[in-house]
Amino acid sequence: MNKELMEALDILEKEKEISKETLFEAIENSLLTACKNHFGKADNVKVEIDRDTCDFLCYAEKEVVEEVEDDCLQISLPDAQEIKGDAALGDMIHVEIKSKEFGRIATQNAKNVILQKIREEERSVIYNQYFEKEKDIVTGIVQRYIGKNISINLGKADGILNESEQVKGEIFRPTERIKVYILEVKSTPRGPRILVSRTHPELVKRLFEAEVTEIKDGTVEIMSIAREAGSRTKMAVRSNNPNVDAVGACVGLNGARVNSIVEELRGEKIDIINWDDNPGNLIQNALSPAKIVAVFADPDEKTAKVVVPDYQLSLAIGKEGQNARLAARLTGYKIDIKSETQAKDAPGFRYEDYMDEFEEDEYDEYEEYDGEAEYEEGLEGEEPQYGDEEEFEAREPEYEEDETGEYEESYEDGISGLPESQKEEEPSEPTE
């Protein structure tokens, strides 16, 4: 019997990851419960279990008295002397309780106590396992749709992918394996409730950490990330080793590393740029491939004004303002983008203040500012494609730039969505 009990405990410990000590405590509590159901009280009942042999002893502590008033708490002197020959009045005698004498109901209650404890510990173990994985990515198997939500099997527990955390347009089939980001793990009476996401920016960050060795070991650091799930992600990286190219490490040979991530994200475009401590250079990189004429910033107001060539305005703004919006999130600046023509017409603007420093289409100098803000959405333009940053996508680019005609036509198409105040006549080359 004891050998079988030991084997059962070993199996539970291995499969459920519940410690033997916890199981022993559950058995002790079950015996106490059985005694309480059998005798009506168990205040003076003690249970001892040998952890090595599983031998257990259940006994009641009774006081030796001349006249017994309570059988549960007292024992007569003659009865006590039968158990212990030198027993005397006032002594405490250990009276063994035979568990086989318990009734069916008491036995059933003891069983339920053990099962309940096992269930509680199992839930606790699962909760602790996934709580440690909170803010990390895991691989799950799509089970079924629950309304508009999706149930994801994460191994020992199920996660819920709410509609708000799903990428628009993504459709999953049952048994399909996907990577998800664990948002939150809650403890409930029915077990842990795990909320997962496919839209969180940290999902992209964790995918790069898993794919790129240099990021994992700290050589390359992800400084900032901005994402519009299903469409585009901008990520700024910095190398802590001068001999390591941060962008190149993230891209991999022939784009192998980043392409695997793009595939996992179902074709989402990824722009990787170099981080720069100079805010002006950082904004330039973030708005790439658009060329920047000048960057003006107000460190107190946490805003930045960016001047671009007339023909680059729609490129800098991006389709439906996406490029500028993501650049604002990435850099932490509120970015106001103007063309050269718009900037010249603005009050207090002096064209000569910056034109001496920039030759034609080459713009390399930036004033250094410190600020933080966001870009206001709503402007339309063309989607940026390739520039100083590395971009990878699963589908073909929306347009191809030409040195002359097609590029200009692209700008004209994109500016149609701009406010009336920004619909200027076709700009001409500036004159000194």
Burial call 357-376: b when 16+ CB within 10 Å, e when fewer: ebeeeebeebeebebebebe
d(CA 199, CA 177): 17
143 and 75 together in one domain: no
d(CA 123, CA 12): 14
d(CA 413, CA 382): 8
User: Domain of 195: which CATH number?
Assistant: 2.40.50.140
163 and 106 together in one domain: no
Residue type for position 408: E
- Check residue 359 and give its pLDDT: 40
Helix residue ranges, H only, 48-196: 77-83, 104-132
User: Domain of 12: which CATH number?
Assistant: 3.30.1480.10
- Check residue 349 and give its pLDDT: 57
d(CA 325, CA 335): 8
Give a yes or no: residue 251 inside a domain. Answer: no
d(CA 196, CA 186): 12
62, 93 contact by CB (below 8 A) = yes
Of 354, 373, 372, nearest to 364 (Cα)?
Answer: 354
Residue by residue, pLDDT tens for the chain (432 residues) are 477 778 888 888 888 888 888 888 888 888 888 877 777 676 778 888 888 877 878 888 888 888 887 777 888 888 888 888 777 888 888 887 877 767 777 788 888 888 888 888 889 889 999 999 999 999 999 999 999 999 999 988 999 999 999 999 889 999 999 999 999 999 888 888 999 999 999 999 999 999 999 999 999 999 999 999 999 999 999 999 999 999 999 999 999 999 999 999 999 999 999 998 888 888 888 998 888 888 887 767 777 888 999 898 999 999 889 999 999 999 888 988 888 888 877 665 555 554 444 444 443 333 333 333 334 333 333 443 333 444 444 433 343 334 333 333 333 333 333 444 444 444 444 433
294 and 172 together in one domain: no
User: Domain of 366: which CATH number?
Assistant: 3.30.300.20
318 and 419 together in one domain: yes
Of 389, 234, 232, 418, nearest to 310 (Cα)?
Answer: 418
33 and 181 together in one domain: no
294 and 424 together in one domain: yes
d(CA 144, CA 261): 25
88 and 163 together in one domain: no
**What is the helix (H) or strand (E) element at residue 57, kind and residue range?**
strand 56-65
Q: What is the residue range of 357's domain?
A: 276-432
- The rounded Cα 325 to chain-centroid distance in angstroms is 23
Residue type for position 156: K
Give a yes or no: residue 290 inside a domain. Answer: yes
d(CA 76, CA 406): 109
C-alpha separations of 114 from 2, 31, 33, 53, 60 in Å: 17, 10, 10, 19, 21
301 and 414 together in one domain: yes
User: Which residues have a Cβ under 8 Å from the Cβ of 264 and sit 6 or more positions away?
Assistant: 179, 207
What are the DSSP calls for 374-400, one per residue?
Answer: -PPP----PPP--SSSEEE-SS--S--
97 and 152 together in one domain: no
174 and 297 together in one domain: no
d(CA 204, CA 199): 9
d(CA 375, CA 317): 10
**Structure-token pair, residue 358:** 């920039």
74 and 161 together in one domain: no
pTM of the shown model: 0.66
- Check residue 235 and give its pLDDT: 95
Number of domains forming the structure of the chain: 3
Give a yes or no: residue 212 inside a domain. Answer: no
- Check residue 352 and give its pLDDT: 53
Q: Residue count of the chain, please give it.
A: 432
292, 331 contact by CB (below 8 A) = no
283 and 400 together in one domain: yes
- Check residue 350 and give its pLDDT: 56
Q: Where a domain ends, among 199, 222, 243?
A: 199
Q: Identify the DSSP state of 347.
A: T
Q: Where a domain ends, among 91, 124, 157?
A: 124
